[in-house]
Amino acid sequence: MTPGRGAMQSDYMHWAKTQSKVRFALSSSEVPHFRLDSLPLTIADLDLDGASHPRYAPLRSAIASRYGVASDNVVTANGTAMANFLAMATLIAPGDEVIVERPTYEPMLSAALFLGAEVRRVDRRAGDGFRLDIRQLEQLATPRTRLIVMANLHNPSGTLTSEEDLRAIGAIAERSGARVLVDEVYLDSAALPRRTSALLGSQFVITNSLTKVYGLSGLRCGWILAEPELAERMWRLNDLFGVNQPHQSEMLSCFAFQYLNEIARGTAERLQRNRALFNEFVAGRDELQCMTAEHGITAFPCREGGDTERLDELLRSKYDTSIVPGRWFEMPDHFRVGLGGDPDMLKEGLARLGSALDELK
Ligand SMILES: Cc1ncc(COP(=O)(O)O)c(C=O)c1O
């Protein structure tokens, strides 16, 4: 489904929030939730005096030191979702040319349309492992291009963009006088640790959060890294959207940064195991094509001749299982599978997916 010019909502987000709960949620794109009360933390550690703290310095500094950048480069926001919107709203004026990858995480496309951008699309093709088409990007970019929008890892495919490709994208942006917004919410689920694009040059603006890979969605701790002058503009623009971030969440987020290794313990191994389970499942299904899942929390198989909407309906109604139909990524014959959950849940979810696929043959 492609949102239209001047979108006033995210149809995908609305859909995702209004689906009934299922036991085998292969539609989820996050790791299991982490319980913060398993950390050495008491209620007395939280400031409960009702005060809010503009640009809360300890959190900015925790984020900055994680990346080895200065606090001036850091803007905090309500999750990666608001970080993306804030970055885009700072960088896009009505009529600006913006290039958005296809397929994409729909709210990023809808946000660009909402902001009045002239949107052009650069493809990631299944046959090319969903690698962003750099030659096409080169042809699309003009001196009027203000922003290139992408995610690394890519949602839905989980594809990692190499540093070489990122540099090439950065060079194209630089020639146009544009910026590159890289949503890195899944980057910490790459098979091996990867550097943020923020370190590749001042044309890069990145967003991230403690949600998907750390199981801390409820904190809504998101951030943007940008050069200081741009970061300052984002803070100023954010004064129009809300006064400050909820302070207890900021304090809990500082705790989370202190214990991040503990919070992430076991995640890399679980994801590796889950990707192997998924790869094995796909290998046994003639009607599915999918590149080997190597990175990340999501995979995006193609169902031959497939209506994945019906597949999702059947899974939800009969198998207590869910996927994300490909129409939300403008590729209706594909569907997204989340690989972040408990391996036993994933195993059973894949078995049920297999039964539903059999039934639709
Ligand atoms: C690419 C991408 N960016 C941002 C988000 C939202 O992230 P957050 O929960 O940190 O706001 C999602 C959630 O699915 C996503 O897939």
* Atom of ligand 1 minimally distant from the CA of 82: 11
What residues does ligand 1 touch, defined as CB less than 6 Å away?
A: 29, 79-81, 105, 151, 155, 183, 185, 209, 211, 217, 222
Q: Which residue has the tokens 């990145």?
A: 206
Residue with CA closest to ligand 1 atom 6? 81
Tokens of 295: 């990175």
Residue 160 CA to residue 277 CA, distance in Å, equals: 20
Q: Residue 316: what are its φ and ψ, rounded to 5°?
A: -70, -45
Query: Which residues, at least 6 apart from 194, have a Cβ–Cβ distance to it below 8 Å?
Result: 160, 187
Q: Give 44-79 as a 3 state SS string.
A: HHCCCCCCCCCCCHHHHHHHHHHHCCCHHHEEEEEH
Give the DSSP letter string of 162-179. PHHHHHHHHHHHHHHT-E
Q: For residue 333, which of 341, 323, 342, 347 has the smallest C-alpha distance?
A: 323
Tell me the CA–centroid distance for residue 213 and ligand 1, in Å.
Answer: 11
Residue whose CB lies within 8 A of the most ligand 1 atoms, among 30, 185, 188, 209, for a mutation test: 185
What is the rounded distance in angstroms from the CA atom of residue 327 to the CA atom of residue 46? 43
Q: Where are the beta strands (DSSP E) in the chain?
A: 24-25, 74-78, 97-102, 118-123, 145-151, 179-183, 204-209, 221-225, 288-289, 298-299, 302-303, 321-322, 324-325, 335-338
Question: How far is the centre of ligand 1, averaged over its atoms, from the C-alpha of 188 (Å)?
Answer: 13
Which residue, by CA, sits nearest to atom 14 of ligand 1?
Answer: 29
- Do residues 156 and 330 touch, judged by C-beta distance below 8 A? no
CA of 190 to the centre of ligand 1 (A): 16
Ligand 1 centre to CA of 252 (Å) is 20
> Mean pLDDT for each 10-residue chunk of the chain (361 residues)?
78 95 98 95 92 97 97 98 98 97 98 97 98 98 98 98 98 98 98 96 98 98 98 98 95 97 97 98 98 98 92 98 98 98 98 97 90
If one counts every other C-beta atom within 10 angstroms of the C-beta of residue 45, the result is 13
Tell me how far CA of residue 340 lies from CA of 10, 38, 283, 350, in angstroms. 24, 20, 20, 13
Ligand 1 centre to CA of 192 (Å) is: 21
What distance in Å separates the CA atoms of residue 55 and residue 286, rounded to the nearest whole number?
Answer: 53
pLDDT at 7: 82
CA of 81 to the centre of ligand 1 (A): 5
Query: 3-class SS at 109?
Result: helix
Q: Peptide bond before 153: cis, by omega within 30 degrees of 0?
A: yes
Instruction: Pick the atom of ligand 1 nearest to 83's CA.
Output: 11
Counting Cβ atoms within 10 Å, is residue 87 exposed (0-12), middle (13-18) or buried (19+)? Answer: buried
Name residue, tokens 């729909």: 106
Closest among 150, 209, 156 to 180, alpha carbons compared: 150
Report, in this order, helix, strand and coil percent for the chain, each rounded to 5: 45, 15, 40
Q: How would you list the strands of the sheet with 298-299, edge to edge? A: 298-299, 335-338, 324-325
Q: What is the pLDDT of residue 1?
A: 58
Where does residue 116 fall: left (phi above 0), alpha (psi -120 to 50 degrees), or beta otherwise?
left
28: Cα separation from own chain's centroid: 12
Please report the atom of ligand 1 found closest to the CA of residue 105: 1
Closest ligand 1 atom number to CA of residue 29:
14
Å from CA of 360 to ligand 1 middle: 31
Give the whole-angstrom CA distance, residue 54 versus residue 67. Answer: 22
